[in-house]
């Protein structure tokens, strides 16, 4: 989830007053490899936009001492590829140009899901590592067992592994990312989905060599030579 087609971290910028729930849910994207930046003022927001060229900009106009309309128009001109999420009070901001609008009150979970859907629209529809190819739209995986259809949860789970090849992903991270819970009292659902995935991508599901268990920690998708580059987005100057 957290990287663009070139393997670089997706950049998320929040401009304005960040309530604790907003920060918490946006920062959760860091666990998926995204880079999240916060700016209290419009000036700082434009500086960070110039430096990081964010893919998504969340703008909170509520109790913020700047014009959301002006900021959205500046960003549209300077970063035409960035998507903007505008947070407004009921009855306000209808004429401000943006891709998504959230009207208060709403939950932090609503903000995260809005950003997640926008991220998914910027990511490739197909992932491929070695002999494993995943079509995210059709939810079809092609591998050692041929073409297999996946359930929505299976697809999200395999996608998480394919975006972070050769990296151990903890059980807690997987439960949080796929099932939206931090509860680890019963992870049998995760175990069952791992078993189902192995049946669809492993030559011998009972002796897995692709999706392996890191005992006491979590799981890892082994793909030799598929390590993603860690380089961050390079800043590019924009005219003021």
pLDDT at 199: 93
- Within a 10 A sphere around the Cβ of 126, how many other Cβ atoms? 12
The per-residue pLDDT for range 207-237, each reduced to its tens digit, is 999 999 999 899 999 987 665 433 333 333 3
The per-residue pLDDT for range 127-139, each reduced to its tens digit, is 888 888 998 878 8
Output the pTM of the full model.
Answer: 0.55
Q: In 3D, which of 218, 165, 142, 157 has the Cα closest to residue 193?
A: 157
DSSP letter for 137, please: T
Q: Tokens 């591998």 belong to which residue?
A: 143
- The CA dihedral of 15, 47, 116, 3, to the nearest 10 degrees, is -160
CATH superfamily entry for domain 11-122: Response regulator (3.40.50.2300)
Summarize the chain as % helix, strand, coil (round to 5): 35, 20, 40
Q: How far apart are CA 202 and CA 231, in angstroms?
A: 31
The CATH code that applies to domain 126-221 is 1.10.10.10
List where CATH 1.10.10.10 sits in the chain: 126-221
| First CA to last CA distance, the chain | 31
Q: How far apart are CA 25 and CA 38, in angstroms?
A: 13
């Amino acid at each position: 989830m957290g990287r663009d087609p070139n393997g670089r971290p997706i950049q998320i910028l929040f401009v304005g007053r960040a309530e604790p729930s907003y920060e918490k849910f946006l920062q959760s994207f860091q666990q998926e490899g995204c880079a999240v930046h916060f700016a209290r003022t419009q000036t700082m927001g434009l500086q960070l936009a110039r430096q990081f060229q964010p893919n998504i900009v969340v703008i909170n106009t509520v109790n913020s001492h700047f014009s959301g309309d002006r900021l959205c128009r500046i960003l549209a001109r300077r970063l035409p590829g960035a998507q903007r999420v505008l947070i407004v009070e009921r009855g306000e901001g209808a004429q401000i140009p943006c891709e998504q609008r959230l009207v208060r009150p709403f939950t932090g979970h609503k903000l995260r899901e809005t950003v997640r859907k926008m991220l998914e629209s910027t990511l490739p529809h197909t992932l491929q590592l070695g002999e494993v190819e995943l079509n995210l739209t059709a939810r079809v995986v092609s591998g050692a067992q041929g073409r297999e259809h996946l359930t929505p949860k299976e697809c999200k789970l395999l996608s998480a592994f394919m975006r972070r090849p050769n990296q151990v992903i903890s059980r807690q991270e997987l439960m949080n990312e796929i099932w939206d819970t931090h509860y680890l009292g019963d992870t049998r659902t995760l175990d069952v989905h791992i078993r189902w995935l192995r049946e669809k991508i492993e030559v011998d599901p009972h002796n897995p060599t692709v999706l392996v268990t890191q005992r006491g920690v979590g799981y890892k998708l082994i793909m030799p030579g598929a390590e993603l580059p860690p380089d961050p987005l390079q800043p590019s100057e924009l005219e003021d």
